[in-house]
Amino acid sequence: MKRGGTADSLTFYDNGSVYHKYTTILEEEWLNYTIEKDKLIIGNIVYKFTFLDDNLKLILTDLSENITRTYERQ
């Protein structure tokens, strides 16, 4: 999913890893994400997630920092 208007993207793989690219300053891959109800857990970070517009938009809220990001499916 690509964040609207920026180069922030998340790619989830069936093997349980997540690839995150933010503009050109941050590029990382995490192993082992889990999904529990409406929570996405990547490493130590817990996000609340919501899908909108027929699952074309993903809203992620970092629960520890209360920061919300919107991603659009590509």
* The model's pTM: 0.64
Query: Six-digit token pair at 15?
Result: 């093997």
Q: Which of 63, 59, 62, 58 is nearest to 74 (CA)?
A: 58
Q: Which of 38, 39, 40 is nearest to 30 (CA)?
A: 40
Query: Dihedral angle at the C-alpha atoms of 64, 19, 22, 54, nearest 10 degrees?
Result: -80
* The predicted structure's pLDDT at residue 62: 93
Specify the CATH number of the domain 2-72.
Answer: 2.40.128
Residue-by-residue pLDDT tens, the chain, 74 positions: 444 444 677 788 888 777 777 655 555 666 678 889 999 998 888 999 999 898 888 899 999 999 998 888 87
